[in-house]
Amino acid sequence: MKINQITLTDLRRMNGKEGLILQGCGGETQEWVDGINEMLTDKGILLDNTKFENVSVFQNDGVTCILYPFADVHLDIGKLAMWRLQSYTAFAGMWLSDYVDNRLSGFEPEQNKEEKLKPDCALIGCDFNIFNLMGIASRTLKQNGMAPFIPHFYALILDDSNKEERNLGMLAGLSMLWVCDAVWVFGDELTEGMKTEIRFTEKLNIKVRYISENDLRTSEVKNDKIKKN
């Protein structure tokens, strides 16, 4: 087991790496690491008998934080994302990349990649069925080297009338927001589920792109529809 003491500057030089940061980790670091290893193993998140053995500790505004890097472990990342959301009040867990972007003003400038422009998406005269629109948006993003994620996918494999399955689908969709660059909102009516996703998006400081029904009927969706929250 290796426990490293690092600075905030060290974190800002970790562009291209990913890990889990837990905040408010007072006391013995070894006890924290052993406890998290045991917990994530029991929940089927740490796989193939791997565990975190090379962690880093740092201080930010008087708060002790521990970075658990993903480089040397095998993870069920979907289960980890769900666990991080469910345990946020206890551990305030954040992905390394999100922590640096939101708490430390981003990675060091010379390491930043040029931000990709969001592509225009031609929708004039299209069938406005939600699944058809998702297909058009997905193809547009793919053609521009982006990877779309559509939470409506969970409506196809889960029972939305079942409260437990609906909550599972909502949590799964919210967990994916941590790795999104932007969120596109189609139509003029916002459901309660959409409002929940938008509020969470705003907390993560992710760009939201509002596309009204009028936009869909009369014009192409332009980049100036992007709003920074």
CA distance 98 to 104: 9
pLDDT of residue 154: 65
79, 45 Cβ separation under 8 angstroms = yes
pLDDT of residue 130: 54
Q: Which residues of the chain have pLDDT under 50?
A: 111-117, 124, 220-229
Task: List CB contacts of 89: < 8 A, sequence separation 6 or more.
Answer: none
pLDDT of residue 116: 47
